């Protein structure tokens, strides 16, 4: 009897996803915007999800993301969902919150690390997916991402934890994990890449042109040999 009772409980909490649906953790940056456009072009019903954590650049990110989605004019892209997962109370003195001490142009890419970033984003998005019967969540980390929460084993473990916790078998997809930003730019030259935003110290609606995020973007366009139509407040020489 106890075994039958346990089986019934497990069945009661199992969520069956709708196969055509996929959510995308979208930040308005180049990588996740290309992912959003790519999935929409393949006929998927795409749910773009932006998770606000209280970081300095989020207002311009959200505005840029909305503009990019409007430009695509893809019927398969659902309206942008904005979720809140405040983290500024956890690390109120971090540069991503205060805007002070932002890593500069020549700082190593690893200096962009924000502890628990992917963990918190996925946790919030997973609950959204459970409510909307979405069985896949796509993200856009690239091969150069050195952070511990961008490893395949992390995504597999978290996917299993989500299944145990909410009854949804959520596949976390990272299709760009084997690509560099240079490669991504070359294969996406037909998209409005200038309508994406990747800056840790924006000046109004402009990229600063001096932070690590801007450096990665600028150098990738240069290496790809593709004109960079991004507007920078202080472009490097």
How high is the mean pLDDT in each 10-residue block of the chain (237 residues)? 51 85 97 96 94 96 96 89 95 95 94 94 98 97 89 96 96 95 94 96 95 96 95 85
User: CB atoms < 10 A from the CB of 203, how many?
Assistant: 14
pTM: 0.91
Q: How far is the C-alpha of 118 from the C-alpha of 139, rounded, in Å?
A: 9
Q: Which residue matches tokens 């920078």?
A: 232
The pLDDT of residue 2: 53
Length of the chain: 237
The structure tokens 């110290």 sit at: 201
Task: Give every CB contact of residue 12 below 8 A, 6+ residues apart in sequence.
Answer: none
Looking at residue 231, what is its pLDDT? 94
pLDDT at 8: 44
Domains of the chain: 17-198 (3.40.50.620)
* Predicted pLDDT of residue 3: 55
Per residue, the 3-state secondary structure of the chain, as one string, reads CHHHHHHHHHHHCCECCCCCEEEEECCCCHHHHHHHHHHHHCCCEEEEEEEECCCCCHHHHHHHHHHHHHHHCCCCECCCEEEECCCCCCCCCCHHHHCCCCCECCCCHHHHCCCCHHHHHHHHHHHHHHHCCCCEEECCCCCCCCCHHHCHHHHHHHHHHHHHHHCECCEEECCCCCCCHHHHHHHCCCCCHHHCCCCCCCECCEECCCEHHHHHHHHHHHHHCCCCCCCECCCCC
Calculate helix-pair angle for 58-72, 30-41, nearest 10 degrees: 30
């Amino acid at each position: 009897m106890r075994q039958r009772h346990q089986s019934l409980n497990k069945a009661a909490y199992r969520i069956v996803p709708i196969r055509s649906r996929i959510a995308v953790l979208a930040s308005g940056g180049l990588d996740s915007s290309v992912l959003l456009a790519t999935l929409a072009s393949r006929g998927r019903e795409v749910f773009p999800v932006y998770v606000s954590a209280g970081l300095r650049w989020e207002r311009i990110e959200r505005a840029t993301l909305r503009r990019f989605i409007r430009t695509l004019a893809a019927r398969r892209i659902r309206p942008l969902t904005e979720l809140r997962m405040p983290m500024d109370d956890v690390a109120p003195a971090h540069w991503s919150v205060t805007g002070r001490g932002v890593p500069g142009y020549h700082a190593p890419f690893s200096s962009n690390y924000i502890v628990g970033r992917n963990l918190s984003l996925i946790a919030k998005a997973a609950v959204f997916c459970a409510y909307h019967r979405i069985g896949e969540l796509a993200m856009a980390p690239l091969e150069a991402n050195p952070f511990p929460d961008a490893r395949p084993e992390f995504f597999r473990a978290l996917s299993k934890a989500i299944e145990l916790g909410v009854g949804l078998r959520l596949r976390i997809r990272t299709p760009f994990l084997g690509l560099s930003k240079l490669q991504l730019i070359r294969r996406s030259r037909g998209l409005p890449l200038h309508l994406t935003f990747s800056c840790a110290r924006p000046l109004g609606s402009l990229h600063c042109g001096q932070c690590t995020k801007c450096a990665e973007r600028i150098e990738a366009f240069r290496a790809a040999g593709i004109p960079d139509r991004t507007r920078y407040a202080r472009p490097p020489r």
